[in-house]
Structure 1
């Protein structure tokens, strides 16, 4: 076993997995304000997977960009949900021209009295700007986030904001 080196902290693409509500809170913060086209969602009923190809704002780098060390960035990423048995939506269009902005990802357990640990059956709710939402019924909570491109300069040149 060796000690950690400075180089070990170098930037790398994110690869995260959430298996409980606490993990999902962290993942939700990282995908807040991600944008995607209406056609960038896919449900594979046979494999029981629901995936979104998103353009995620790099919140993990926001402080350094704000300090002037670099431009604000986005990165293409896949947000992947396993063990999905049903998908319901409200107020969303799947048109290729539609642009959606993801606000949050939350988990509602089927059994509120379930013990700590990996989350069992329940619903994952994806909330979008403009009152759109997706509800994914899952047998267990398993959500993956994987960056799939190099970061690129955010087209707006600034961080997303949510005026009160």
Structure 2
């Protein structure tokens, strides 16, 4: 990888999850690169995340990196406004939200255009890991009002 170490983080509480959510904001993910693995009680995805942790202006529009994200202790998975059979459809991840307490709850991955994947979990148990060398992004993600 580059001189900067690749990201490898785990989340076990709301604050940790918020940090991971910030790092994966604007990640692009193909539907076919997401999987619910019920026998492992896991939901996993691989996508290209924008490297928000890099200083602004670094290499022009910034960098993207291939990253894996998985959630353990998953009891059930449901999707809203996402065609899970459209394997080549590309989704833009906006954020990851938590609604629960120490006894479990729901992790919701919210995507652009109103799509969402809701994971019912027994606890926050998440891992984010960079899997590739970064490459120059074609553009920097933009957000209205920012």
Using structure 2 for the length normalisation, give the TM-score.
0.92
Find 1:89's aligned residue among 70, 79, 90.
79
Displaced runs of 4+ in structure 1, greater than 3 A?
Answer: none
- SS of the residue corresponding to residue 78 of structure 2 reads strand
Find 1:149's aligned residue among 105, 112, 132.
132
Larger Rg over CA atoms: 1
Q: Could you tell me how far apart the structure 1 residues matched to 2:108 and 2:14 are?
A: 12
Pairwise CA distance, 1:58: 0.3
Structure 1 gaps, min length 5 = 1-9, 112-118
Say if 2:27 and 2:93, in contact at 8 Å, map to a contact too: yes
Say if 1:73 and 1:153, in contact at 8 Å, map to a contact too: yes
User: Aligned residue pairs: how many?
Assistant: 141
Root-mean-square deviation over aligned CA pairs? 1.2
In the alignment, which residue of structure 1 is the partner of 2:34?
Answer: 41
In the alignment, which residue of structure 1 is the partner of 2:24?
Answer: 31
In the alignment, which residue of structure 2 is the partner of 1:18?
Answer: 11
In the alignment, which residue of structure 1 is the partner of 2:93?
Answer: 102
Q: Could you tell me how far apart the structure 1 residues matched to 2:92 and 2:55 are?
A: 18
Say if 1:40 and 1:53, in contact at 8 Å, map to a contact too: yes
Find 1:124's aligned residue among 107, 111, 119.
107
Of Structure 1 and Structure 2, the greater strand share is in 2
Pairwise CA distance, 1:38: 1.3
The answer to whether residue 139 in structure 2 is matched with residue 162 in structure 1 is no
Q: Could you tell me how far apart the structure 2 residues matched to 1:83 and 1:77 are?
A: 20
Structure 2 gaps, min length 5 = none
Q: Could you tell me how far apart the structure 2 residues matched to 1:60 and 1:150 are?
A: 15
In the alignment, which residue of structure 2 is the partner of 1:116?
Answer: none
Structure 1 residues 87-124: Cα deviation after superposition (integer angstroms, max 9, x where no partner): 01100123122110000001111x4xxxxxxx431100
- SS of the residue corresponding to residue 44 of structure 2 reads strand
